[in-house]
Amino acid sequence: MSDTKLNAALAAYAHLVLKSGCNLQPGQELFLSASTDSVEFARLLTAEAYALGARHVTVRFGDEKIARLHYENCALDVFETFPEWQALLNNSMALGGAAVLSVISDDPKALVGVDQAKLVANARASHVACKPFYDCLDQGKAVWCIVAAAAPAWAQQVFPSLDARAATEKLWQAILAAVRVDTPDPVAAWAQHRESFNERKAWLNAQHFDSLHYTNSLGTDLTVGLNKLGIWQGGGDVTVEGREFFPNMPTEEIFTTPDLSRAEGVVYSSMPLIHYGSPVEDFSMRFEGGKVVECQARVGQDVLEAIFTVDEGAAHLGECALVPWGSPIQKSGILFYNTLFDENAACHLAVGQGFPDCLEGGQQMEEEELKAHGVNKSATHVDFMMGTEDLEVIGIKADGSRVPIFRGGAWAT
């Protein structure tokens, strides 16, 4: 791709992100977070936001190398307190009606070897201090969107045989293809993409499954209970005020929030998990009564164990998502080492925070009521891929009847 062609594609991407992802309105504020690796793209987004009539754009940059220096040099108690000004910024932006846009470009290994206790402390402290911010997002009061930008360290993990420049360009191409910027009218393509989820969602919602049974040749044999008032979502989100947006771009999943207290059996990972810049590979978890009671990893055992120590909810499920084998991202054959992409390549589960909007009336419920209906609450939410080419998913109804949902890794019907 020539530089001019890439620049034109990036401008189209910035437009798509703000128009379809954030559904940015004239006069609205934009709160943009990005890494110092993506300064150019952040400038492009800022310019495009103003072109669309944004009232003001607040940009906050993070830097992974500086973050690593903090973790290496500061004592644990530093991470137990979240900076007040930072909480004030996050909370006031979300409460003030800004669209919250995050551009990620993380180096998958940025924080390898960092003390997991500090990362856990930081996640906990941020969750407490920024509660109004997270509540706005979880309860459909704020529009939010996570998208990716290519950066050299990440790109060279994905394409290790290429030099930094070539790898970054190739990663940009993969990102742009995954978000359909290579189509003539990306905004229209996303509107159509949203529609394409409706039939399957309607079918799943009409089945009222009581549980899902997953099996495959890796050894997965897991039954996950679903909530009575549960709803399957996918292909974008909508605020309580009815404004459509896409929390993640790309997105290929149909998902719900399972019963936090009902999961039995074993699940094996099918792809590596990168958690806060540390890899976990070839791992399994055993659930009893909805809780992880045992876990094993060939790589990153300490990272995996630390996930479940964040809080009570961290050892219970918050999401189960259906993504057929053969999805565009899986077909690209690229392992992105990034959940935003890899979760759209395979069926997955997540431990931690559940989704109130995956429960009928959930966005109007308080925390305790949500929990009583089976929606998990946690300071963390960690997706892990478990879908394979031979995954079978059976929906089990309350009367015990069994309906195939996935056969041979893809939709049975």
Instruction: List residues near Zn ion by CB under 5 A.
Output: 253, 321, 343
Between 250 and 374, CB nearer to Zn ion = 250
Residue 70: how many CB atoms within 10 A of its CB?
13
Based on CB atoms, which residue is closest to Zn ion, 49 or 263? Answer: 263
Least Å from the CB of residue 381 to Zn ion:
9
Residue with smaller CB distance to Zn ion, 71 or 236: 236
Q: Do residues 344 and 175 touch, judged by C-beta distance below 8 A?
A: no
Note whether 386 and 267 are within 8 A (CB): yes
As measured in angstroms, the least distance from the Cβ of 48 to Zn ion is 27
Nearest partner of 265 among 218, 294, 223, 225, judged by Cα: 223
Q: Please, what is the minimum distance in Å from the beta carbon of residue 338 to Zn ion?
A: 13
Tell the smallest beta-carbon distance from residue 207 to Zn ion (Å): 20
Which is nearer to Zn ion, 321 or 405 (by Cβ)?
A: 321
Nearer to Zn ion, 321 or 394 (CB): 321
In the bound complex, what is the minimum distance in angstroms from residue 349's beta carbon to Zn ion?
Answer: 9
Structure tokens at 120: 């856990």
Least distance CB 86 / Zn ion (angstroms): 27
For Zn ion, the closer CB: 297 or 340: 340
Minimum CB distance to Zn ion smaller for 29 or for 319: 319
Least spacing, CB of residue 238 vs Zn ion, in Å: 17
3-state secondary structure the chain: CCHHHHHHHHHHHHHHHHHHHCCCCCCCEEEEEEEHHHHHHHHHHHHHHHHCCCCEEEEEEECHHHHHHHHHHCCHHHHHCCCHHHHHHHHHHHHCCCEEEEEECCCCCCCCCCCHHHHHHHHHHHHHHCHHHHHHHHCCCCCEEEEECCCHHHHHHHCCCCCHHHHHHHHHHHHHHHCCCCCCCHHHHHHHHHHHCHHHHHHHHHHCCCEEEEECCCCCEEEEEECCCECCEECCEECCCCCEECCECCCCCEEECEEEEEEEEEEECCCCEEECCEEEEEEEEEEECCEEEEEEEEECHHHHHHHCCCCHHHHEEEEEEECCCCCHHHHCCCCCCCHHHHCCCCCEEEEECCCHHHECCHHHCCHHHHHHCCCCCCCCEEEEECCCCCCEEEEECCCCCEEEEEECCEECC
**Under 8 Å between Cβ of 166 and 177:** no
Which CB sits closer to Zn ion, 107 or 343?
Answer: 343
Q: How far is the CB of 406 from Zn ion (least distance, A)?
A: 16
Looking at residue 349, its amino acid is: L
The residue (of 322 and 334) whose beta carbon lies closer to Zn ion is 322
Rounded distance between C-alpha atoms, residue 156 and residue 165, angstroms = 9
Q: CB-wise, 90 or 256, nearer to Zn ion?
A: 256
Nearest approach, Cβ of 49 to Zn ion (angstroms)?
27
User: Among residues 290 and 387, whose Cβ is nearest to Zn ion?
Assistant: 387
Instruction: Name the residue number minimizing CB distance to Zn ion.
Output: 321
Q: Name the minimum Å distance from CB 297 to Zn ion.
A: 21
Furthest C-alpha separation in the chain: 60
Q: Residue 367 CB, nearest distance to Zn ion (Å)?
A: 22
